[in-house]
Structure formats: C-alpha cells, structure tokens
Homo-oligomer: A and B are copies of this chain.
C-alpha cells in the first residue's frame, strides 16, 4: 500500500498539502488538485485508518456490549445500532459479554485504550456496585435496557412498570381474575422488579388480591417457562392467565401447554413482553408488550448526536452543528407502520400488526383460525433532555 508520502512525492507537493486537500480544509488551484488526484489514482492510495486514528486520538469506533447477540431481542438492537453508527461514519465493535462482569470490564477498559470512543452497554445482571464503580465518571457510555443503578450516564430504559401494568390490565379486562406472573431472576434486577410492580398495581386497581403463590421468579429463558408453568398448574387453584416477563418465557410456556394439550387461549391466556420480531411467527401468536429493541438502539445513538456528555464521541459531529449546549429533543422516533406516535403523552389505540382483524377483547372468543390476538399500541414518550443532565432517563414504552 502506498502512503500519503508517496502521493506527495508523485504530485510534487508536501504531505501536508495532500492531507489538507483530502480533508477539505484547503482549496487548491486546479492544477495542483489535479496532480494530487492523479497521483492518488495512480498509486491507488487509501488513508491508513490506524495512523489517522492515532493522530486524531479517536478510534471512530463505538462498542456495543451485550450479553448475547443470538437472542433476537438483542440482535435487533445490534442491527439498529450498526445502522446508526455507520450512517455517522463510525465503526461498530461488537462485544459479547455473556453476562460476565470481567468481560464488561474488559470492554469498558477499551474506552481508555482508545480502542473505543464510546460504549453502548446492555448489562443483564443486577449490579453489586462493581460495574457502577467501573463506569465511574466516564462520559462516553450509554446504558440501555437494564439499569445500572447509581451510574451517572445517559440511559435509555423502558418504562417497565407501565409495561407490567398494561399487560396485566389487558388480562383483567379480558375477564381474568386469577393471573399469574412469571419473570426473571434475581428479583433485584430492575426489569424484574418494575414489571412486577406494574403487575401489582393493575391487580390492586382492579381490587384483586395479590397472591404470592401466583408469581415465580427464575429466569427470562424458555426453559424456565416450562418449569414455572408446571408449578402453576399444580396449584390447588391454578391461574387462568399468565403475564410472562419475556417472550422467551412465554414460548416455553406455550410448549409446555401444548405438551399437556391445554388449549391457548381457550384454557389459558398468555401475555408476553419484548415483542421480538419472531413473536408474531408463533402459533398461536401471543399478545406481547412491545418494547421496541429497534427504538432502544436508535434512540440511543440519537443521544450521542446531541448530548455533550458524550462529547468525546460527539465532538466531530457537533463541529458541523454548533448548537452546543442547547436542549435538544433526543427521542423523536418515526412512527412504525400502522402506529400513531404520540410524543409526551400516552394514547392507546388498536394496532394493525399481524392478521388481527376482528379483534376480540375476550380471550375466550377467538377469530378466524381459532386464535387469540389483541394489540394495543402505546405511542413513544419522548422527553426533553437538557444538556448537562446526562443521567436522566428516557422512558420508551410501547405495547402491542
């Protein structure tokens, strides 16, 4: 490979001139410009990005650290983040933590070694303070999906309480009184806690007593769905509906129910959580709380564009758009097809996803092919996020 020096020699100018010309910081007389262009072409010159980055002191790369990318929920986030990053000329380093602290630690360390300019962190463990300490005062981390309490960085989290509330309410409105809740572990996980809190609120509002026997905490995985289900069915008075805190859980339950020849939704109603894209591929499709992985991914990178907390990463972008320090709307997602996006307020309407014409609010009634499916769509809630307040939380809640 040829270097800028070769180009300079061939074009009979200095390295600096070539460099400035290439970066557009200089208007050259046509003849010199042409000589340089010709040299570049002749030598098939390409900027060495390593040297560039060393010189600039920035890797032009952001990291996305998540427990697992084979899980469709995370994969969707990754897809969206990659898009946002590449649109801005950033590379994306994929960092799979497999839920281990030492791996999270490794990747956070990459921020110091210039390996990464910024890090999008999806942790899925309850933090004992180590991760928070590790994050420390860093200004180039964004936390999404699961909170790391105490960490003073921008966060993009889902309104899990609201989600749990709506899911449960959905079942109550369908006539259920005995509603179980199956969720992850440990209970200390914010997503677990909050979804459960929403569940309790909905019950309370409907005057249904909370029954400890009807809630199980184990994991968000499929396997636990089956286990939990067995336990619930063995109760003296089993539930008629279940709010599962993840779609994977719901799937595990569906499998177990199928094995026991229990008809869904006739004999058991289920609401999931996550709205992974494949949820609608299930037969029967289950209701699920939508927390859009794509919005989590997208919103997050929008933040980078506007918050000076991420100044390290954002400086080059701000340079082009010097409204520095002004409050900016950070969460302005386009509405998805068939949805109404309501900024700043919640509004519920019936959705259009899937083949759910002839929607029935009663789970014991079903349409066309004997399936139960009802969608709610809750608009995104956008918030003004003033500069200099990097650790406020953006709630993105959706239901479908």
- In the complex, A254 has a CB within 8 A of chain B: yes
Asked if A113 and B54 make an inter-chain contact with CB atoms under 8 angstroms apart, the answer reads no
The answer to whether A261 and B368 touch (CB under 8 A), given A75-B70, A109-B46, is yes
Q: Which residues of B contact A68 (CB under 8 A)?
A: 79
Which of A186-194, A235-243, A274-282, A313-321 is the interface stretch? A274-282
Complex interface: chain B residues within 8 A of A59 (CB):
50
A258 at the A/B interface (Cβ < 8 Å)?
A: yes
Place the interface of chain A in its size category. Answer: 35 or more
Residue on B with the closest CB to A83? B96
Chain B residues contacting A113 (CB-CB under 8 Å) are 46-50
Contacts of A282 in B (CB 8 A): 281-283
Q: Is A251 an interface residue (CB 8 A)?
A: yes
> Closest B-chain residue to A354, C-beta based?
B255
Knowing A72-B278, A283-B282, say if A46 contacts B112 (CB, 8 Å): yes
- What is the bound-complex CA distance between A95 and B82, given in angstroms? 7
Given A46-B109, A69-B75, A94-B94 in contact, is the A368-B259 Cβ separation under 8 Å? yes
Residue A91 at the chain B interface, CB threshold 8 Å? yes
Interface digits, A245-275 against B, CB 8 Å rule (1 contact, 0 not)?
0000001001100110100000000000000
In this assembly, does A284 line the interface, its C-beta being within 8 Å of a C-beta of chain B? yes
- The residues of B that contact A368 with a CB separation of less than 8 Å are 258-259, 261
With an 8 A cutoff between CB atoms, is A352 at the interface? no
Q: Report the bound CA distance from A33 to B193 in whole Å.
A: 49
Q: Which residues of B contact A57 (CB under 8 A)?
A: 50
Any B CB within 8 A of the CB of A303: no
| Known contacts A92-B94, A278-B278, A283-B254; A49/B259 CB under 8 A | no
CA distance A355 to B282 in the complex (A): 17
The CA-CA distance from A57 to B54 in the complex, in Å, is 12
Closest to A64 in B: B94
Contact of A1 among B93, B112, B261 (CB under 8 A): B112
Interface positions, chain A 336-392, Cβ under 8 Å from B, are: 355, 368-369, 371
Digit string of A41-65 for contact with B (CB within 8 Å is 1, else 0)? 0000011111101100101010010
Interface residues of A (CB under 8 A from B): 1, 46-51, 53-54, 57, 59, 61, 64, 68-72, 75-76, 78-79, 82-83, 86, 91-96, 109-110, 112-115, 222, 251, 254-255, 258-259, 261, 277-278, 281-284, 355, 368-369, 371
